[in-house]
Amino acid sequence: MHLPLSLSLLFAFLGLATAQFNIFEQMFGGGGGGGQQQHHHHQQQQNSPSDSSFYRSQVDRLHCDNYLCPDTLACVHFPHHCPCAWPSHEDKFELADGQRICASKGGFKEGEAARKVELARKGLL
């Protein structure tokens, strides 16, 4: 059985187009498997379980003789030595009671977060 030339060319072009898209998919992180599967896989990576088992497993495997910071899991001598989780986006402030807080760097002026923390300390905010 011989296919007409036009059908043979159509199948040849479809094969080339499929190969071309597979190359692009691999180059840009598609990894094959179709778009819907990739989208579903991507969603699975973003969504975390709603329980604390992952966090507890991280804490259980750590060793700290001093103070383990609950939010960063850093081992420090005192709670106010805990680093902020996002230092490029947060300013750290030590409180009088030996604790620390991390406040989002906000506004357009340098030191704006510090000004707001000071106002809150004075009860003005």
Dig out the tokens for 105 from the structure.
């760097």
Query: What b-and-e string marks burial along 18-41, b requiring 16 or more CB atoms within 10 Å of the CB?
Result: eeeeeeebeeeebeeeeeeeeeee
Q: How far apart are CA 75 and CA 19, in angstroms?
A: 52
pLDDT tens-digit readout, 61-114: 999 999 999 999 999 999 999 999 999 999 999 888 888 899 988 777 888 888
Q: Return the biggest CA–CA distance within the chain.
A: 91
Cβ neighbours for 68, distance < 8 A, ≥ 6 positions apart = 59, 62, 74, 75
Q: Tell me what pLDDT residue 95 has.
A: 83
pLDDT tens-digit readout, 9-61: 444 444 444 444 444 454 445 544 455 555 555 555 777 768 888 889 999 99
Every domain of the chain and the residues it spans? 5-44, 63-121
Q: Looking at the whole model, is its pTM more than 0.75?
A: no
- Cα 89 versus chain centre, distance: 14
The alpha-helical segments, DSSP class H, found in 1-125 are: 5-27, 35-46, 53-61, 112-121
Q: How far apart are CA 56 and CA 34, in angstroms?
A: 36
